[in-house]
């Protein structure tokens, strides 16, 4: 059975949003887009969790998506983060992404208000009917406080322009239920679980660590996609410590922003309520980066 969201297969990087003196650093964002495309990634996802979307103003959110669409200029797919816990706001953001030239919309499950399963269904259905754009469901109950159950996701997969799911529950059972029960493309939402998910039939990853080592993530995903499991496994274990640091040292995107700073690739500035990685965390991350073979300051 073919999967209808295969346009999003491979590596999509969940972009950080560079800041300078409290504002979006547009030049740094454009450079990041160019660097990731040069590394060979297939997709870019601005304004997700890693992009600190909760602290972007509406104008900034729209502007970041505009910049990424403009700078990528068709060289990579743009999967714009346009989710909200307000259905009307998610529709507005998704309409803007379509007008900006995005190839798809990454829509996080409504957070905080904890809908019932029927509420999840009606939320995504309303967006799908309002905007003719491929939609990727982003299911991350660790942040949104409630799981979109596999039966609901499979039901949503019957809608024409809901094409994929970013699976960030950490459950291989849930992923298996979606892969078995729908023709949705399934993408890993956890870097450390990309290879296990691909072994079940997943098609790639929306990656945080790809901000730092995009070529290595792509090499692993490509190896798995071509059935070279020995190479894919070796790369998985090489990446594993770095992937775990991105999640275990502090809340994402604090560690990846710290890595950007340590690698002298940007300021690493965050917006409150996120705060800098602790000195102990920085020391641990520096060891991980050095052991990986990356040159730190």
Catalytic residues: 138, 166
Distance CA 9, CA 228 (A): 17
Per-residue HEC secondary structure of 48-84 comes to CCCCCHHHCCHHHHHHHHHHHHHHHCCCCEEEEECCC
Count CA atoms within 13 Å of residue 78 on its CB side: 25
**CA 173, 85, 96, 57: dihedral to nearest 10 degrees?**
-120
Q: How far apart are CA 239 and CA 224, in angstroms?
A: 14
Residues 6+ apart with CB under 8 A from 6: 185, 203
Q: What is the rounded CA–CA span in Å between residue 183 and residue 167? A: 14
In 3-state terms, what secondary structure has residue 178?
A: helix
Structure tokens at 150: 């596999």
**The tokens of 141 are what?**
């109950």
């Amino acid at each position: 059975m073919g999967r209808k969201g295969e346009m999003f297969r491979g590596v999509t990087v969940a972009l950080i949003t560079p800041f300078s003196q409290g504002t979006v650093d547009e030049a740094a964002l454009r450079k990041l887009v160019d660097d990731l495309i040069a590394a060979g990634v297939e997709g870019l996802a601005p304004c997700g969790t890693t992009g600190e979307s909760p602290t972007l103003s509406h104008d900034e959110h729209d502007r970041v998506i505009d910049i990424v669409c403009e700078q990528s200029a068709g060289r990579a797919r743009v999967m714009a983060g346009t989710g909200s816990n307000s259905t009307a706001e998610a529709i507005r953001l998704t309409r803007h992404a379509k007008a900006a030239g995005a190839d798809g919309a990454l829509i996080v499950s409504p957070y905080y208000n904890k809908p019932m399963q029927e509420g999840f269904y009606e939320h995504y259905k309303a967006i799908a009917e309002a905007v003719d754009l491929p939609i990727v469901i982003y299911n991350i109950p660790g942040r949104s406080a409630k799981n979109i159950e596999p039966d609901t996701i499979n039901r949503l997969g019957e809608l024409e322009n809901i094409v994929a799911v970013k699976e960030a529950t950490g459950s291989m059972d849930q992923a298996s239920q979606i892969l078995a029960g729908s023709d949705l493309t399934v993408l890993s939402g956890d870097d450390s679980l990309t290879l296990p998910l691909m072994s079940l039939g997943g098609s790639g990853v929306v990656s945080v660590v790809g901000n730092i080592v995009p070529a290595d993530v792509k090499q692993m995903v490509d190896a798995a996609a071509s059935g070279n499991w020995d190479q894919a496994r070796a790369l998985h274990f090489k990446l594993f410590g770095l992937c775990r640091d991105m999640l275990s040292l502090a809340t994402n995107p604090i560690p990846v922003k710290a890595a950007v700073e340590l690698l002298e690739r940007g300021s690493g500035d965050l917006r409150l309520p996120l705060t800098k990685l602790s000195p102990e965390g920085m020391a641990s991350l520096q060891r991980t980066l050095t052991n990986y073979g990356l040159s730190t300051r």
